[in-house]
């Protein structure tokens, strides 16, 4: 069923009787060409591109709970392609271009809003690093602008320019950056994949991977064994658990990132803003809530909840940067479990097990990557070779010393 304004009006006039389920609720078949483990953003996007771009129709997405219930449903919805390193920037710019056409591609309004993102800097050293990054963005075909303090003040007069412990010296802006309605992204990909014949199987937990003579034959699940020629794992946050079923240890730790939303407010923030002197980033949703976050809690965990010190740290940064939000109320806090990798960059690669493919290590940057991650993982699953923009995301890069370390903090996941 095609969505459109006319359809909405027609249905309104006929009692909304015509709306069909956005996706089917099928029972799993015995065997699929490709099974994607994980009905989150990346898994559903993979299914969408597999079926729509790579012509794979005999595909299933298997989800332990309800689709979109992982990090795609609990992030701060920021979309950007402002990376510095060659391993990353082409991939994220590819993702940005996919975002820009996503609604039309999916016929679903994920409310991709290119309202811009600004990364503020407060020291000359930060400025130099941002100039290097901005240049890398432009050299990779993305957009970037450097603003001085006066210009930042013109665009964001409510920031703390008068009483700041760390004065704002300027900012790196990406105008094409912005936000998207996170749940709708998952639903849009699911709806499209479903419409192309992909079976989306919810409430089906993977309990094991059937591997014989180094080849993956399928998955054991709470709904029984499901055979497959290829199995792709896209369960960031739980990668350790699932790949553990294949006896693999990963260059990844699971950590919790908290996120926060305020009560609804009339428009106050024009764009996404990240603070360079504290752990704080924020945007305002279309409903009016300030959606914000900061650092991960910093200890290994699989629990989707955090603790007070980080809540306080984030709010300290927020009020220091923009004192006018002080009287807005924090409405809800929640946590998402992140695959924190050893260099802060993701992995999209084959594994030592034939027929088993891995997509993970997204740290807290996975949402913006959703379309490209799906596209590149679909490419890898369909063609058995990496997509040109994702060649650096290899599993063995730590052994060879080809890390992609934007922050330069090395093999300590909780610092990325």
Residues 304-363 that bind another protein (CB under 8 A): 304-305, 307-309, 311-312, 314-320, 323-334, 342
What is the separation, in whole angstroms, between the first and last Cα of the chain? 43
The SS3 of residue 361 is coil
Q: Tell me which stretch binds another protein (CB under 8 A): 29-37, 358-366, 378-386, 397-405.
A: 397-405
Residue 160, burial from CB neighbour count under 10 angstroms (0-12, 13-18, 19+): middle
> Binder to another protein among 12, 55, 150, 212 (CB under 8 A)?
12
Q: What secondary structure does DSSP assign to 140-151, as a single string?
A: TT---EEEEHHH
Closest CA to 186 of 200, 203, 169, 171: 200
Pick the closer one to another protein by CB: 137 or 216: 137
Site for another protein in 98-127 (CB under 8 A): 100-101, 103-104, 107-115, 122-123, 125, 127
Pick the closer one to another protein by CB: 56 or 81: 81
From CA 280, how far away is CA 71, in angstroms rounded?
19
The reply to whether 252 sits near another protein by the rule CB under 8 A is yes
Q: What secondary structure does DSSP assign to 88-111, as a single string?
A: THHHHHHHHHHHHTHHHHHTS---
Q: Smallest distance, Å, CB 271 to another protein?
A: 11
Closest CA to 280 of 81, 60, 106, 122: 122
The reply to whether 4 sits near another protein by the rule CB under 8 A is yes
The reply to whether 409 sits near another protein by the rule CB under 8 A is yes
The reply to whether 400 sits near another protein by the rule CB under 8 A is yes
Q: Smallest distance, Å, CB 31 to another protein?
A: 25
The reply to whether 262 sits near another protein by the rule CB under 8 A is yes
For 21, residues 6+ apart whose C-beta sits below 8 A from its C-beta are none
> Binder to another protein among 214, 264, 352, 388 (CB under 8 A)?
264
Site for another protein in 126-165 (CB under 8 A): 127-140, 144-146, 158, 160, 163-165
The reply to whether 205 sits near another protein by the rule CB under 8 A is no
From CA 371, how far away is CA 363, in angstroms rounded?
16
Vertex 205: Cα angle to 204 and 208 (nearest 5): 130
> Binder to another protein among 276, 278, 294, 360 (CB under 8 A)?
278
Q: At what angle do helices 366-383 and 41-52 cross, to 10 degrees?
A: 40
Q: Smallest distance, Å, CB 276 to another protein?
A: 12
Strands 206-212, 145-148: pairing is unpaired
Contact between residue 318 and residue 324 where contact means Cβ atoms under 8 Å apart: no
Q: Tell me which stretch binds another protein (CB under 8 A): 208-216, 266-274, 373-381, 384-392.
A: 266-274
Q: Smallest distance, Å, CB 55 to another protein?
A: 25
- Is the four-CA dihedral 136, 138, 139, 141 of positive or negative sign? positive
For another protein, what does the binding mask look like between residues 173 and 192, x meaning CB under 8 A?
--------x-xx--xx----
Pick the closer one to another protein by CB: 253 or 373: 253
The reply to whether 25 sits near another protein by the rule CB under 8 A is yes
Neighbours of 159 (CB within 10 A): 21
Closest CA to 33 of 51, 49, 17: 51
Pick the closer one to another protein by CB: 71 or 254: 254
Q: What DSSP state is assigned to residue 249? A: -
> Binder to another protein among 41, 70, 177, 240 (CB under 8 A)?
240
Pick the closer one to another protein by CB: 56 or 192: 192
Pick the closer one to another protein by CB: 147 or 380: 147
Contact between residue 358 and residue 352 where contact means Cβ atoms under 8 Å apart: no
Site for another protein in 356-395 (CB under 8 A): none
The reply to whether 19 sits near another protein by the rule CB under 8 A is yes
Q: Smallest distance, Å, CB 382 to another protein?
A: 26
Site for another protein in 219-238 (CB under 8 A): 238
From CA 123, how far away is CA 168, in angstroms rounded?
8
How far from the centroid of its chain's Cα atoms is residue 152's Cα?
Answer: 27
Site for another protein in 35-94 (CB under 8 A): 65-66, 68-69, 73, 86, 89-90
Pick the closer one to another protein by CB: 227 or 323: 323
The reply to whether 250 sits near another protein by the rule CB under 8 A is yes
Closest CA to 253 of 22, 63, 413: 413
The reply to whether 413 sits near another protein by the rule CB under 8 A is yes
């Amino acid at each position: 069923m095609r969505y459109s304004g006319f359809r909405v009006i027609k249905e309104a006039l006929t009692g909304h009787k015509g709306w069909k389920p956005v996706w089917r609720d099928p029972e799993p078949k015995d065997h699929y060409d490709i099974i994607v483990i994980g009905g989150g953003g990346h898994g559903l996007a993979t299914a969408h591109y597999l079926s729509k771009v790579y012509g794979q129709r005999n595909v299933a997405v298997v989800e332990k709970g309800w689709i979109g219930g992982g990090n795609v449903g609990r992030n701060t919805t920021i979309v950007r392609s402002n990376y510095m390193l060659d391993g990353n920037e082409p991939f994220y710019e590819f993702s940005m271009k996919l975002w820009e056409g996503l609604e039309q591609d999916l016929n679903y309004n994920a409310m991709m809003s290119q309202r811009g993102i600004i990364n503020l800097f407060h020291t000359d050293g930060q400025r130099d690093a941002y100039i290097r990054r901005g240049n890398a963005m432009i050299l990779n075909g993305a957009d970037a602008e450097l603003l001085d303090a006066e210009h930042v003040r013109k665009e964001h007069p409510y920031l703390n320019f008068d009483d700041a412990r760390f004065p704002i010296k300027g900012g790196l802006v990406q105008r094409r950056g912005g936000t998207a309605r996170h749940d709708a992204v998952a639903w849009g990909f699911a709806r499209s994949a479903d419409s192309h014949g992909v079976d989306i199987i919810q409430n089906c937990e993977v309990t094991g991977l059937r591997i014989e003579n180094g080849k993956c034959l399928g998955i054991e699940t709470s709904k029984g064994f499901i055979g497959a020629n290829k199995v792709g794992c896209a369960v960031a946050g739980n990668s350790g658990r699932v790949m553990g079923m294949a006896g693999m240890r990963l260059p990844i730790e699971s950590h919790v990132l908290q996120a926060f939303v305020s009560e609804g407010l009339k428009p106050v923030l024009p764009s996404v803003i990240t603070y360079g002197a504290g752990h704080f980033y924020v945007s305002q949703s279309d409903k009016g809530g300030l959606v914000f976050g900061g650092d991960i809690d910093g200890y290994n965990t699989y629990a989707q909840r955090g603790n007070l010190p980080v809540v306080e740290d984030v709010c300290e940064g927020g009020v220091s940067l923009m004192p006018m939000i002080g009287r807005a109320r924090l409405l809800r806090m929640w946590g998402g479990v992140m695959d924190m990798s050893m260099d802060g960059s993701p992995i999209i690669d084959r594994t030592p097990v034939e027929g088993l493919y891995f997509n993970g290590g997204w740290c807290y940057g996975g949402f913006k990557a959703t379309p490209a991650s799906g596209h590149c993982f679909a490419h890898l699953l369909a063609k058995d070779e990496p997509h040109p923009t994702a060649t650096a995301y290899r599993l063995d890069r730590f052994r060879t010393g080809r890390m992609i370390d934007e922050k330069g903090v090395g093999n300590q996941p909780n610092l990325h």
